[in-house]
Amino acid sequence: MKVQDLIEQLAELNPDAEVRLAYQPNYPLWEVASAIVAGNDDGAPVNDTECQVCGGMDGHEHGCPERLDPSPRVDEVEAEFVYLTSGGSSGYASKALWDGGAW
Ligand SMILES: [Zn+2]
């Protein structure tokens, strides 16, 4: 699914409806969506410069085995992935959600 598909499909729905994320069809659950974040293929936000090894920001802590420079900065509108984060209320969902898409 692409952002453009989402924009078109959401445009036809109630703007006051709460957005929930249904996941795990073999044990269906839902959780309230809390944010939309432009990210990279590694599951991190764009321009996340925290080293995954030492936790250093914009660089490495002394002795960190990673010697790679932080990723080049990416404009959010050029990010290749968009993550919908969840948080807050949650509950059991119905498997029918996976069959019932109108699109
Ligand atoms: Zn590091």
Q: What does the pLDDT look like over 17-61, one tens digit per residue?
A: 999 999 999 999 999 999 999 998 888 888 777 787 888 877 788
Q: Show the domain range for 35.
A: 17-97
Is residue 2 one of the residues assigned to a domain? no
Number of domains in the chain: 1
Is residue 11 one of the residues assigned to a domain? no
Q: What is the pLDDT, as a whole number, of residue 66?
A: 76
Is residue 27 one of the residues assigned to a domain? yes
What does the chain come to in residues? Answer: 103
Q: How far is the CA of 8 from the centre of ligand 1 (A)?
A: 41
Is residue 5 one of the residues assigned to a domain? no
Is residue 12 one of the residues assigned to a domain? no
Q: How far is the CA of 67 from the centre of ligand 1 (A)?
A: 7
Hey, what's the torsion of the CAs at 87, 91, 96, 98, to 10 degrees?
20
Q: What is the pLDDT, as a whole number, of residue 70?
A: 54
| Percent of the chain's residues with pLDDT above 90 | 55
Q: How far is the CA of 73 from the centre of ligand 1 (A)?
A: 17
Q: For the ranges 29-33, 69-73, 86-90, 92-96, which has the lowest average pLDDT?
A: 69-73
Q: How far is the CA of 45 from the centre of ligand 1 (A)?
A: 17
Q: Is the dihedral of CA 101, 91, 88, 85 positive or negative?
A: negative
d(CA 13, CA 17): 8
Is residue 25 one of the residues assigned to a domain? yes
Residues 6+ apart with CB under 8 A from 62: none
Q: How far is the CA of 48 from the centre of ligand 1 (A)?
A: 13
